[in-house]
Amino acid sequence: MTLLFSIIARAEFYKVEIRRESSNLYQTREGIYIKTKFCYEYAIWESAILSYDKYSYNNKLIFNNGQSCEVEKILN
């Protein structure tokens, strides 16, 4: 239980404005790209929350409508 709590506590949350560039690829206003897996949400400069930790396998992009997508990686 302690290990699980430690992993969850390390996740960082970022408020981002995103748009969908192509299938499973979103761009932030800052020019950072977010690669997702099996994500079908369309966004045109919408607010979202990015839950991300470099060493986690549970990274998510959470949309305003409550839907979330698994984040594969962040590209600069």
Instruction: Work out the pLDDT band at 6, boundaries 50, 70, 90.
Output: very low
This prediction has a pTM of: 0.83
Q: What is the pLDDT of residue 34?
A: 98
CA–CA dist 74, 4 (Å, integer): 23
Given a cut of 80, whether residue 7 has pLDDT beyond it is: no
Q: What is the arithmetic mean of pLDDT over 11-19? A: 94
Three-class SS string for 6-75?
HHHHHCEEEEEEEEEEECCEEEECCCCEEEEECCCCCCEEEEEEEEECCCCCCCEEEECCCCEEEEEEEE
In this structure, are residues 41 and 53 in contact, taking their beta carbons and an 8 Å threshold?
no
Q: Which position has the higher pLDDT, 8 or 12?
A: 12
